[in-house]
Structure 1
Amino acid sequence: MSKKASQSHIPQAASQSVVDHEEHTPSREPPPYSSPVVVPTAVHDQPMSSRYPRSIPSLPNLDYSKYSIPDCTVSKDGTTIAMYHPSFSTDPRALTRFIQEQAALPPLPYIHIVGGSREAIMMQQPDFDIKLNMLRYFVPAQSNGWNYLRLVGDDEMAFRGKHTQTTTPVVKGGIEDWARRFCKESSSQKSFTLERQLINWNTSYIDGQIRSLIAATGYTRHVTVSFPMRYTKIVVHPPRSSESFFTSLFSPLMDKKRYEVARGVWPYATLPPGPEEDVSGRSCAVQSEEAWWRDWKDVLRLAIVNKKHGWISLDDVLEYKMCPVEPEIPKNPWGYC
């Protein structure tokens, strides 16, 4: 995925602005963006409880209490949060604070590796099923982070309060103006969506390294490597109690007022991946994909040949590195010959 360094980078004046892209394809123009995400104190702030510890070593420095959202539901796949708190659909200031708070929180990215025949996978009996949490690699430990709140551009197709994507209206007042427009809507079929997005992460490199490592163990069955994310969309709805029986019955036929104009963007690096000569100024929020692979490849190989099912964590890395003798790798772990 070769792109020129100027196609997606963090401007020097605001170290968190990175060109948006869809599924590893960076755009060529810098996006419109808000000021860096600085989270104001919300009226519903509560004292931190033991559920949200601040000082666990290696835990990314985030305000985990803000992940707890009033009056919400989470989709079965963990991607979408639907919330129905009345103030967020009627009070522009409350909605603005909420969107800023949630944009300051990343989604939960992880790598999912599954091996087995298609029939075995469908029956949930794979040979191995491994997950690796990647959150810490998007949250720098010694800075305010590179994340920013990106708003839809003037000429960008998006849901701007209509049931179809358009380029109108054009709003110049930032997130506050979008919040006012949404809260003025009287329709019970309105929604305001914040999407959390990761960019400039070289998943193609990681995918290739994982597949090569698995092939080197002699494994010949089907392998799936994916990069799922949880908590990627937050959708604000009017209170459910405001829907009458008539409204719920005919809601599929009603004109929906959709606002999908805001994204919380979390860069892995200042530039998208590409040839070395094109990305010589690329720097990563925490570490490069190559450095990550050097840290994790041996532990990953051991988990695969041991047919692990579950998460691989830093504990596995520590156990591997502190073992006085190198763990033995079976010569023929799959029993093919």
Structure 2
Amino acid sequence: MSSSQPPIPQKDTSEPSYAVHRPISQPGSSSQPQSSTPTEHDDERPNTPPPYSGPTSPQMTAPPAPQPQPNYPGLPRLDYTLYSPPNFTLSTDLTTLTSYTPPLSTYPTSLLQLIQSLASIPPKPTIRIYGSTNNEIDFDVRVNIMNLIVPEDEKRRMNYVKLIGKGETGYRGDFKKSSFPEKAGLEDWCRGYCEDSAGIKQFALDRIVTNWDTSYLEGRLLSLISSTSYKGHVQISFPLTHSRVVVHSPDKVNRFFSNVAKVFTGTKKYEVIKSVWPYADIARGEPGRRCAVQEEEVWFADWRDAIRHAVIGKRKGRVTVEDRLEFLMEPRPEETGKMAEW
């Protein structure tokens, strides 16, 4: 049965990161950023944070002490309740959390504590492999690689928080990007946002993945699909969900009125903070590179058979560890020397 091809997310482009090995401050810990404890694999590269990075400053109010979190075997150790905070709505494409709650646009301490806590969890990076013939979907598989940016050993996590730097262009509380004004830290930015009298304004946190060589993986995956004798159209993309948090000023009348007013007045934007989750400390190919969990080549070697197994089976869904087991225990005829039938 023929169906329309769904839109394919564009490949995520990630900005370069600094060689930093410093986990984000956990709620309830000291507000001064701390360096992670070196492991026996660490080399002599300085463990220096990037300029204007760090979840807090000495003057910032520390968030409440963390509560014990349940441990889910096979999943990264995170506080998953932070992905659905009260009074927030998740967009249909699963990328953006938005809140119009008045206190967050009124009280700097409330906004500060929220941003600090939500910056402590990563986005969800995924690999999507899509094949179609004459607008008919042949396969559409996704692989979650979130566990490759969140090591099980918390001391080996590389994530950090980066504030907009001196002279860096961005949305600093205006309708357009600028390199001014400059502020001392996140607390000052939160105060500036809450004291801004603009009718329509928003404060955003972005979560990004850096130093993940998606170009290399795209090439290897295209070659893998080609090995199945598939002749249709193949697209490889790297969607990043749960990657943005937006605190919006409350509606003066209603949401429709605010959307109309936004067209004429614009929105004053504060986009000054990023939660950075490196796949590795530096770009692939650079000497001395260290990955949070494993190299792209190792991941591909581990998962290539499971992905090929799912593609040959015309899967429309997730590829999981069960596919690796199924490939080993229940190989398809096409995986034992016969040509795949498309």
Q: Deviations over 1:49-105 (max 9, x none)?
A: xxxx72221110000111122222222222121112222111111111111111111
* Aligned residue type for 1:75: S
Match of 2:240 among 229, 248, 253: 229
Residue 143 of structure 1 and its aligned partner are, at CA, apart by 1.6
Alignment size in residue pairs? 300
SS at match of 1:234: strand
The partner residue of 2:325 within 300, 310, 318 is: 318
Q: Which residue of 1 aligns with 2:166?
A: 154
Q: Does the CA contact (< 8 Å) of 1:70 and 1:85 recur in 2?
A: no
CA displacement 1:293-328 (0-9 Å, x = unmatched)? 11100111111111111101122223334x2x7543
Question: Which amino acid in 1 is paired with 2:79?
Answer: D
- The corresponding residue for 2:78 is 62
Instruction: Give, in angstroms, the shift of residue 31 of structure 1.
Output: 4.4
* Contact kept in structure 1, 2:281 and 2:291, CA below 8 Å: yes
Residue number in structure 2 paired with 1:181: 192
Residues 1:166 and 2:166 are matched in the alignment: no
Q: Counterparts of 2:17 and 2:188 in 1: how far apart (Å)? A: 29
Retained in 1: the 8 A contact 2:252–2:258? no
Cα deviations across residues 157-177 of structure 1 (Å, max 9, x unaligned)? Answer: 1010100000000112x1101
- 1:15-54 matches, within 5 Å, as 30-35=50-55, 40-42=62-64, 54=70
1:111 shift after superposition: 0.5
Query: CA 1:15–1:244 in 2, change beyond 3 Å: closer, same or farther?
Result: closer
Out of 228, 231, 235, the position equivalent to 1:220 is 231
Match of 1:291 among 298, 305, 314: 298
Q: CA separation of 1:207/1:154 partners in 2, compared to 1, >3 Å: closer, same or farther?
A: same
Task: Compute the displacement of 1:188 (Å).
Answer: 2.6
Rounded to whole Å, the distance in 2 between the matches of 1:143 and 1:250 is 46
Structure 2 runs not aligned, ≥5 long: 1-15, 23-33, 38-48
Asked whether the equivalents of residues 21 and 158 of structure 2 are also in contact (C-alpha less than 8 Å), the reply is: no
How many Å apart are 1:185 and its aligned residue? 1.1
User: In 2 relative to 1, CA 301–67 (structure 1 residues): closer, same or farther, beyond 3 Å?
Assistant: same
Note closer, same or farther for the CA distance 1:108–1:285 as it changes in structure 2 (3 Å cut). same
Tell me if the contact between 1:82 and 1:234 (Cα under 8 Å) persists in the aligned partners.
Answer: yes
State the alpha-carbon separation in 1 of the partners of residues 222 and 257 from structure 2.
53
Q: Secondary structure at the match of 2:325?
A: helix
- Partners of 2:262 and 2:55 in 1: CA distance: 37
Q: How has the CA–CA distance of structure 1 residues 245 and 210 changed in structure 2, closer, same or farther, with 3 Å as cutoff?
A: closer
In the superposition, relative to structure 1, how do residues 162 and 89 fare at CA in structure 2: closer, same or farther (>3 Å)?
same
Q: Provide the residue aligned with 1:24 in structure 2.
A: none
Check the 8 A contact 1:161/1:258 in 2, yes or no: yes
Q: Is the 8 A contact 2:17 2:278 kept in 1?
A: no
- Aligned residue number for residue 93 of structure 2: 77
Distance 1:261 1:329, change over 3 A: same
SS in 2 for 1:262: strand
- Alpha-carbon spacing, 1:39–1:285, altered in 2? closer, same or farther (3 Å): farther
Task: Report percent identity of matched pairs.
Answer: 36
2:31 is matched with none
- Structure 1 spans left out of the alignment, 5+ residues: 1-5, 17-28
1:96 maps to which residue?
A: 112
> What letter corresponds to residue 291 of structure 1 in structure 2?
V
C-alpha RMSD over aligned residues: 2.9
* Residue 244 to residue 136, structure 1, CA distance change in 2 (3 Å): closer
Map of 2:19 onto structure 1: 9
Q: Does the CA-based 8 Å contact 1:193-1:259 persist in structure 2?
A: yes
**Inter-partner Cα distance in structure 2 for 1:92 and 1:85:** 13
Whole-angstrom distance in 2 between the partners of 1:178 and 1:301? 48
CA distance in 1, matches of 2:254, 2:61: 32
Kindly provide the amino acid, as one letter, of the partner of residue 332 in structure 1: M
Quote the offset at 1:36 in angstroms. Answer: 7.8
- Aligned positions of 1:169-318 closer than 5 A: 169-172=181-184, 174-240=185-251, 249-274=260-285, 279-318=286-325
Q: CA, structure 1 residues 157+66, in 2 after alignment: closer, same or farther (shift >3 Å)?
A: same
Contact 1:104 1:264 in 2 (8 A): yes
| Cα distance in structure 2, aligned partners of 1:284 and 1:309 | 30
Looking at structure 1, the residues matched to 61 and 279 of structure 2 have their Cα atoms a distance apart, in angstroms, of: 21
Distance 1:253 1:32, change over 3 A: same
Partner of 2:3: none
| TM-score, normalising length: structure 2 | 0.80
The reply on whether 1:334 has 2:341 as its aligned counterpart is yes
